[in-house]
Amino acid sequence: MTAAPPDAEVLYAELLRQVRERALADPGLQLVGIASGGAWIAERLHADLGRAGKVSVVSSVMHRDDFAQRGLASSMQTLVNFDVNGASVLLVDDVLYTGRTLRAVLNELFDHGRPARVALAVLADRGGRELPVAADLCAAEVDVPPGQSLELARDDAGRLRFVLESLTP
Amino acid at site 147: G
User: For the segment 16-41, what is each residue's pLDDT rounded down to a tens digit?
Assistant: 999 999 999 999 999 999 998 999 99
DSSP 8-state secondary structure symbol assigned to residue 79:
B
Q: What is the pLDDT of residue 68?
A: 47
3-state secondary structure of 118: strand
Q: What is the pLDDT of residue 1?
A: 42
Residues 109 and 32 sit within 8 Å (Cβ to Cβ): yes
User: For the segment 142-158, what is each residue's pLDDT rounded down to a tens digit?
Assistant: 999 889 999 999 999 99
Omega before 36 within 30 of 0, i.e. cis: yes
Q: What is the pLDDT of residue 146?
A: 85
Is this model's pTM higher than 0.85 or not? yes
Q: What is the pLDDT of residue 88?
A: 98
Of 112, 116, 123, the C-alpha closest to 77 is: 112
In a 10 Å sphere around its CB, with 0-12 CB exposed, 13-18 middle and 19+ buried, how is residue 61 labelled? buried
- Is 66's pLDDT higher than 70? no
Quote the CA–CA distance of 80 and 53 in Å, as a whole number.
Answer: 12
Q: What is the pLDDT of residue 60?
A: 87
User: For the segment 91-121, what is each residue's pLDDT rounded down to a tens digit?
Assistant: 999 999 999 999 999 999 999 999 999 999 9
Q: What is the pLDDT of residue 36?
A: 83
Of 146, 54, 151, the C-alpha closest to 94 is: 151
Q: What is the share, in percent, of the chain residues with pLDDT greater than 90?
A: 82
Residues 111 and 140 sit within 8 Å (Cβ to Cβ): no
- Is 5's pLDDT higher than 50? yes
